[in-house]
Amino acid sequence: MKPRKTKYLKKVLGKKSFELFPEKNHHQFYYLVVDGVKQNVYTYFSHGKKEYNKNLMGQIKKQLKFPNTKQAEQYFDCPMSGEQYIKLLKKIGAI
């Protein structure tokens, strides 16, 4: 996956059903919330990171349960909506 700015990643997650939950161990946790229910799909950000490189983006891809890199890229580049993402997670049994 291509590197992305942390600020941009947080913005995309916020628009697509993820909510920021209280900090744990100096990290910002974003959980998926569907119909008001917090799901077991989440990722987190360190305070000091301004940009996430390919390796860290790969970890985010796994945390958000994307089956492949193409789908993760579509999600962060915005052709995939939050609703489409939730349907994908239901289809693969992640939620």
Rounded to an integer, what distance in angstroms lies between the CA atom of residue 32 and that of residue 90? 13
78 burial type by CB count under 10 A (0-12 exposed, 13-18 middle, 19+ buried):
exposed
In the predicted model, what is the mean pLDDT of residues 25-41?
92
pLDDT band at 87 (very low <50, low <70, confident <90, very high): very high
Q: How many structural domains are present in the chain?
A: 1
pTM of the model: 0.90
Q: Which domain holds residue 30?
A: 4-91
